[in-house]
């Protein structure tokens, strides 16, 4: 009998205090996340690569370009400058991409044979090494091979100006993208 009364008292106490305890805790329980709180704040601040509406490359945070080191392209789930990344993809859009790592900033194309010169092929490697829109944050390497008589390929020299010209084109397009972003933000 004593055990039954104790059970009833515990149930009564739980029913009496339960709603009050639940009401006290409303809004204070953080949403569960597998990420460290600091990492979660960064994810919420900058968004993620895939975002809630699909893949995004530019920052979802509403900040003026001056708050991002003056270039406006440092955030958004990729480890490198978003304007350099986007302009590189646009500049190399005619080449087959073998590998693209937006966190490490490395884009490697597959071999490309121009229709006008079937006896040679080209391959590019682009490294973006900074979150700032700077010329020294971009390095383009061009590899060239010529057809050998036996159906194979031999490495050939590449004019140093070729890589420089591609870098200039990427940087010019990145600056255009940055100017467009600044003008559209007000």
Cβ(99)–Cβ(150) below 8 Å = no
Confidence of residue 77 (pLDDT cuts 50, 70, 90): low
Residues across the chain = 186
Q: Is the pLDDT of residue 6 over 90?
A: no
For residue 152, give the 3-state DSSP assignment.
Answer: coil
C-alpha dist (Å) from residue 147 to 56, 116, 123, 125, 161: 40, 14, 14, 21, 22
pLDDT digits (tens, 9 = 90+) for 115-166: 999 999 999 999 999 999 999 999 999 999 999 988 899 999 999 999 999 9
Confidence of residue 79 (pLDDT cuts 50, 70, 90): confident
pLDDT score, position 73? 53
pLDDT score, position 45? 59
pLDDT score, position 158? 95
Q: What percent of the chain shows pLDDT beyond 90?
A: 51
Q: How far apart are CA 173 and CA 178, in angstroms?
A: 9
Q: Is the pLDDT of residue 63 over 90?
A: no
User: Going along 40-163, which residue ranges are E strands?
Assistant: 97-101, 106-109, 120-128, 138-147, 153-156
> Residues 22-44: what's their mean pLDDT?
52
pLDDT score, position 149? 82
* pTM for this predicted structure: 0.60
């Amino acid at each position: 009998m004593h055990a039954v009364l104790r059970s009833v008292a515990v149930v009564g106490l739980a029913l009496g205090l339960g709603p009050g305890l639940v009401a006290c805790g409303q809004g204070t329980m953080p949403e569960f996340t597998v990420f460290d709180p600091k990492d979660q704040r960064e994810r919420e601040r900058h968004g993620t690569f895939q975002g809630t509406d699909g893949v995004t490359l530019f920052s979802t945070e509403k900040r003026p370009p001056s708050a991002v080191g003056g270039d406006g392209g440092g955030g958004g789930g990729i480890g490198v400058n978003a304007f350099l990344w986007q302009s590189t993809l646009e500049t190399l859009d005619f080449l087959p991409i073998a590998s693209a790592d937006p966190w490490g900033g490395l884009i490697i194309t597959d071999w490309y044979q121009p229709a006008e010169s079937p006896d040679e092929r080209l391959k590019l490697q682009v490294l973006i090494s900074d979150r700032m829109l700077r010329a020294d944050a971009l390095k383009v390497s061009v590899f060239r091979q010529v057809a050998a008589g036996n159906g194979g390929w031999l490495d050939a020299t590449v004019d140093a100006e070729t890589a420089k010209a591609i870098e200039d084109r990427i940087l010019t397009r990145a600056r255009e993208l940055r100017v467009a972003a600044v003008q559209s933000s007000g």
